[in-house]
Each structure stands twice: as C-alpha cells, then as structure tokens.
Amino acid sequence: SVKIIQQCIEKMKPGLIRVDNAKQAYPSKDEVYYSMEGMIHDFMYTVEGVTPPQGVEIYHAVEAPKGELGFYLQSDGTGSPWRAKMNSPSYSNLQGLEYMMEGAAMGDMVVLIGTIDPVMGEADK
C-alpha cells in the first residue's frame, strides 16, 4: 500500500491543493492563531457550516470493516441538511438472513446471525 501512495504522489500535479476561495475552506492554522480575521472566519465556518444550494443531494460511501457505510444528505439551502440518512453495513448484511434461513432449522438462526456478525446498535432503524 505504500507503493500505491507513492504512485499517487508522483502523479499529483504541482501546485496548491487547497481551494482558492477562502469562504469555502477553513483558514490555515497560522491565520487562525495569529490573525483576528482568520480566527473569526474559522469560528463562523465551524458554527454556520457550508450552505449548499437548495435541493442538492449527495450520497457518499466509504469502505467500513463490515461492508459499505453510506451517507445520504439533501440540502434545504441552510447550513443544516434537510434530510440525512445513514446506510450501515450491519443493516445491509442482515437483509440476507431471510435467504440464508431457507431450508435451515430454526436453531441454525443463532449460528447464521453469528456468521454475519452484525453490530445490532447500528442495525436497528
């Protein structure tokens, strides 16, 4: 995996990585520590957050230890999302229990649930 990171670094274009628009990113730590404007901007960005246009929807998934962990957000034009949903891996994995139980005895259910290894705290919706 170190080789993959090295390949990514080699393929990166030279130049800045941060966003040019100061209102769309946190200020650098130097600005926050040594400039009053930077400190105010950091505080306001933390309190108010990002305000995407109304109706914008996004789904983003990341790989979690037990499967795909997905987040769905829908904007109403304010700093807080109008709709926020989380798709947890344990909830998705438990959907297969019905098919796994076909032809199995009721006593096998404990073994099958243990095979799936769900975190029940994230599986209850």
62-100 confidence digits (pLDDT tens): 999 999 999 999 999 887 889 999 999 998 899 999 999
Domain assignment of residue 120, yes or no? no
Domain assignment of residue 87, yes or no? no
Mean pLDDT over each residue of the chain, to the nearest integer: 89
Domain assignment of residue 39, yes or no? yes
Domain assignment of residue 4, yes or no? yes
Residue 28 pLDDT exceeds 90: no
Environment class of 89 (CB within 10 Å of its CB; exposed 0-12, middle 13-18, buried 19+): buried
State the pLDDT at residue 51. Answer: 81
Strand pairing class (67-75; 81-87): antiparallel
- Number of structural domains the chain divides into: 1
CA angle 18, 19, 23 (to 5 degrees): 125
Domain assignment of residue 41, yes or no? yes
How long is the chain? 125
State the pLDDT at residue 125. Answer: 67
Q: Quote the tokens at residue 67.
A: 């499967």
What is the value of pTM for the model shown? 0.62
Distance, CA of 123 to CA of 117 (rounded, Å) = 11
Domain assignment of residue 14, yes or no? yes
Domain assignment of residue 15, yes or no? yes
The domain of 30 spans 1-49
